[in-house]
A and B are shown apart, each in its own frame.
Chain A
Amino acid sequence: MRRFLTSRHATPWLLLLPASVLFAVFFVAPFITLGINSFYDYGRMTGIIHVFTWKNYEKLWLDEYYLSVIGATFRLSSITALVTLVIGYPVALYLTVASPRAKSWVIALILSPLLVSVIVRTFGWAIILGKNGLIERVFTAIGIPGTDFLHTEAAVVVGLVNVLTPFVVLSVATSLQSIDPAVPLAAASLGASPLRVLSRVILPLSLPGILAGMLIVFGLASATFVTPAVLGGAKFKVLSTLMYQQAVILQNWPFAAAIAVTLTLIVLIGQGLQNMAAERSRYGASLR
């Protein structure tokens, strides 16, 4: 046993084994099945028809209506990623200068939405944002009536930002902490204003954290189901709610599978863009 663990070749594999088995059995294998399924045909009277067809993808990628749903998904995820960044970045900056005590409080606060069940959290937002909810009552009191914005894209963004901000904060904070404190000091001593230190030194150096955090948020936001279903309402359609309709209401699993594959592709495109941006940020400055 001892010899096995110290063996230089076996150890890395052993370390990866539990994770890879889990991943292979519960993700890769079902995903392959999903991919195969997405090329089958379906009829309500016959069920799934096991013949190869591009039909599902043709419908999804070429039809104006479905393209608009793909667009809405992309838009929602991008807006959510941007808003979480705007809200999360200052918090991450604060964390680098905060006392350990304050830091642990802020982190606990930022993480708190993750400790509440998605159903409870989402319905809580529905009450706050809905008719006669907190927001509407406050705005009515100061003379702006009719501000109930439940069942709008904004409501979905609010719900998502609430829970996804910690991912940006933690990711950016990690990046900020790895910056050598001497670097911003050097910039300041050379005469750069604090704003200039932030925009030309700290921000570029924390870019990997920004990009990683935004990618996580983008991926999670594009796949979320309960939040758009409850806060967006029936009219607000994204790929996840469309998938639900196809799989659960219509039992059209092949089309739902094609939607799932498309959703994965969207996240992969996001990942590709992130990699490209990260490469450029790393080498671009020195090349210029």
Chain B
Amino acid sequence: MTNRRGATTQRMTRRSLLAATALPLTAPFIQARAAEELVFASYGGSIEQFLRKDLLPTFEKETGIKVVYSAGTALSQLSKVIATKSRPEIDIYWSNDLTHAAGKAMGLFDKVDPAIVTNLKEMIDGALDPQGIGVTTHIASTGLQYNTEKFKQAGWAPPTSWYDLWDPKFKGKVAMYSISVLYSQELLGAISRLTGGSESDIRPGLKKIRELKDMGNIAAFANSPAEMDNIMAQGQAWITYNGNIRTLLMKSQGAPMEFVVPKEGAIRFSLYSDAIKGAPHPVAAQKFTEFFLRKDIQERTAEGIFYAPTNRNAVLRPDLAAVMPYGTKAVAALIKLERDPMNRDLGEWIEKWNRSIES
């Protein structure tokens, strides 16, 4: 008991430092206690609802492992993993391309254990990490989202290209994400590429997106996907770029929204299951990865929150298959951004964007 107390005090100091440096966010973070527990760093909103109600009870029933759910954003969860590096609290972190690259570069993640995660061989090409650190659990895509009702009223055709955002008729109708949100980082990467730059040279993309501001197309900036949903639902803006799952979730709740794969390609967005190095429940973490990648679970996830499966045996209903990057051809058509330079230069990206676009 005394030991545990000592440990808690020590941890508190580190946490209060983190609190002092910024964040009043984050759900209450519960400390792992019993052996059969798993601390799962994930996301909030509809994703949390689905996981808590649907998937996690199945996992708990099958394995007897209790899941402690921590909701946040990919980057805030990464911050937490870094903050607790010397005494990890999170067992499994559901990361994305960028934070996977970042955490891997810093050596925060463990390898996937093929002895427990036996379904690794069922994965589609490219889902496995070359170094065996983490595995792609789901794929989504970032493209255009528009308000079908407003477009119909105005008599406009649906957008077809990334460049449609620059259409003068969308003056004051385009919603943007803050650069803190991944979708804007992806937009900047993709537009840089399309305009002759690359992930290592974003000047052309920055210049192009600056035009969007100068011509007055930008209606608002959203600080989070939830805020974007509001801006779009209230008709404050009619068109934006968004993750397909965001659009599909809105649509499934009855909003007049549609997702468009631009003709230049939608951007590939992957989620990873990353076990944290030195975490208290390594076996449970591997078991969870195995569960997450299972054919039936992947099918249920696609139905519930529209994340496309990476298990090649997963079969989707045709209507679902049509709206997500499902199948070799659809996955291959996605723009695959170079996440390593993106992660390396993220500080400069944000600074430059802050100065020239979000101000």
Contacts and interface: CB of A to CB of B under 8 A. Distances in A.
Given A30-B16, A33-B17, A234-B358, A44 B220 contact: no
Interface in B98-125: 102, 105-106
A65 interface: yes
Given A233-B220, A256-B22, A29 B78 contact: no
B347 A244 contact: no
Interface residues of A, number: 38
A226 interface: yes
Contacts of A251: 75, 78-79, 82, 102
B335 interface: no
Contacts of A34: 17, 20-21
Contacts of A137: none
A234 B359 CA distance: 9
B234 interface: yes
B253 interface: no
B24 A247 contact: no
A250 interface: yes
Contacts of A260: 20-22
A153 B90 CA distance: 39
Contacts of A226: 24
Tell me what chain B mostly uses at the interface: helix, strand, loop, or mixed: helix
A225 interface: yes
A282 to B, nearest CB: 35
A87 B359 CA distance: 31
* A interface, over-half SS: helix
B22 A244 contact: yes
A287 B320 CA distance: 83
Interface string B221-257: 1110000000000111000000000000000000000
Contacts of A249: 75-76, 180, 350
A162 interface: no
A44 B102 contact: yes
B234 A132 contact: yes
A225 B21 CA distance: 12
Interface in B323-359: 343-347, 350-351, 354-355, 358-359
B178 interface: yes
A55 interface: no
A234 B221 CA distance: 6
Contacts of B234: 130-132
A210 interface: no
Given A47-B106, A131-B234, A248-B23, A29 B346 contact: no
Interface in B25-43: 25
A232 to B, nearest CB: 10
Interface in B178-235: 178, 180, 220-223, 234-235
A211 B359 CA distance: 33
A144 interface: no
17 contacts: A25-B13, A26-B16, A33-B17, A34-B20, A37-B17, A45-B343, A47-B82, A65-B359, A225-B24, A234-B177, A234-B178, A237-B354, A244-B22, A248-B25, A251-B79, A251-B82, A251-B102
Given A45-B344, A247-B22, 18 more contacts: A26-B16, A30-B13, A30-B17, A30-B20, A44-B102, A44-B105, A44-B344, A65-B354, A132-B234, A151-B220, A234-B178, A234-B180, A234-B358, A235-B221, A245-B180, A247-B79, A249-B76, A249-B350
| 10 shortest interchain CB distances as A-B pairs | A234-B221, A234-B178, A247-B22, A249-B180, A247-B21, A256-B21, A30-B17, A234-B223, A131-B236, A244-B22
